[in-house]
Chain A
């Protein structure tokens, strides 16, 4: 069954006819070729597919594209501003918050909501906030450091790209 959808992604409106069973992550990656969002486990465990839907971190492998009709979405591609990295992206670079990089987009999108809810989190709060994101390189220490660093850099101003 074909379903019409209209979604705002990274500030741009996309209108499509999608198969009812198309997952949101497939729509982003395969229809729109926004491949920054990754598919890891495909079972809502690993968090590599995390994006922001209407201000909330969501696992896009467990949402239908049809469910996102009318939503405002931010993906990793929407964070940098005219080539200037978002403070979270900068901090991941500075603090070596990535090894293979596969989990990074999901980590950063979850961190974006974490810092929105709690702009100055403790290390423990960051670790708890990342419970839905796996890093199979097990590089968690530097990921936590990167988010902590970004939070202090950003102060209370959390900028969406």
Chain B
């Protein structure tokens, strides 16, 4: 399968990429690893007139800790994130999430920023980053702005990213001590996309649950934080008695997707089951 014709530009720096983006206008797309964009172009779902390749820009490829925040360059690959000693020691949920994406070949090329910009409703990163309350740094020629991950996703394949903007960094605050988090998914066995993916994060404060965060991907057109479950568990005793009842709230008030992989009813059931499994892991009952 061959994409339609396009102009190809290899950007040597973020500045050059932004200038090209500005010059080529809304018909241009950023190419990072290309593992969402190239398949879409081969199927001609997406026919950009110009591609600006940022894959070789080393200033977008890093994982570092800066004042209790993990700063991840947008063009860092899933494979590098999965293997990162820093992530594995400071917030292992992120490394675990990276390791569940696709297969090794896909992880070697696909990038975290590319995945976010594509905003596939079944992508893995959104759940983990929502639970971790990440921020996305979006840069244009004139400014850099910070967007909370919850405001970044705006619907099916739709984000807050403007035509002349580039995701340059993902920032994840390091959680307080006594915090545990995990990401579990029920995957489509061929693509390994999440039919339902659930990230959970909990801080244990003197025998009760605090800072409870539960986020889903795959369940609806946009990933979301499940405030129903969170509020039901916040401040509750850490013995887990409330957990089963709270998880029955999964997906409440959300327009749950139904497709040939899973009906609406089955997806809702999976959300309940995976919320409970994830919360059992992070509360030490797994």
Separation of A21 and B4 alpha carbons in the complex (Å): 7
Interface window among B5-13, B60-68, B223-231: B5-13
| CB proximity of B174 to chain A, nearest CB, Å | 27
Given contacts A64-B38, A67-B31, contact A132 B105 (CB under 8 A): yes
Is B133 part of the contact surface with A, judged by Cβ < 8 Å? no
B53→A62 contact, CB < 8 A: no
Give per-residue flags for A98-116: 1 if the beta carbon is below 8 A from chain B beta carbons, else 0.
Answer: 0000000000001001100
Partner of A66, one of B10, B42, B79, B105: B10
Is A131 part of the contact surface with B, judged by Cβ < 8 Å? yes
Q: Which residues of B contact A57 (CB under 8 A)?
A: 104-105, 108
Give per-residue flags for A36-69: 1 if the beta carbon is below 8 A from chain B beta carbons, else 0.
Answer: 0000001111010010000011110011101101
Separation of A56 and B56 alpha carbons in the complex (Å): 15
A47→B103 contact, CB < 8 A: yes
Q: Which residues of A contact B4 (CB under 8 A)?
A: 21
Separation of A83 and B274 alpha carbons in the complex (Å): 53
B38→A62 contact, CB < 8 A: yes
B192→A131 contact, CB < 8 A: yes
Q: Which residues of B contact A23 (CB under 8 A)?
A: 2
Number of interface residues of B (CB under 8 A): 30
Number of interface residues of A (CB under 8 A): 29
Given contacts A113-B104, A131-B192, contact A44 B10 (CB under 8 A): no
Q: Which residue of A lies closest to B102 (CB)?
A: A132
Q: Which residues of A contact B2 (CB under 8 A)?
A: 21, 23
Q: Which residue of B lies closest to A1 (CB)?
A: B7
Give per-residue flags for B169-202: 1 if the beta carbon is below 8 A from chain A beta carbons, else 0.
Answer: 0000000000000000000001110000000000
Partner of B39, one of A43, A129, A131, A132: A43
Q: Which residues of A contact B10 (CB under 8 A)?
A: 66, 69
Is B241 part of the contact surface with A, judged by Cβ < 8 Å? no
Separation of A56 and B4 alpha carbons in the complex (Å): 28
Partner of B56, one of A3, A70, A110: A70
Taking A56-B79, A132-B105 as known contacts, 16 extra A-B pairs with beta carbons closer than 8 A to each other, sorted by chain A number, are A1-B5, A1-B8, A44-B106, A50-B105, A57-B105, A58-B108, A59-B106, A62-B39, A63-B34, A63-B38, A63-B109, A66-B10, A114-B104, A129-B104, A131-B103, A131-B192
25 contacts between A and B (CB under 8 A): A20-B6, A21-B2, A21-B3, A42-B1, A44-B35, A44-B39, A44-B105, A45-B190, A45-B191, A47-B105, A58-B108, A59-B105, A62-B38, A63-B38, A67-B34, A67-B53, A67-B55, A69-B10, A70-B56, A110-B105, A114-B104, A131-B104, A132-B104, A132-B105, A133-B103
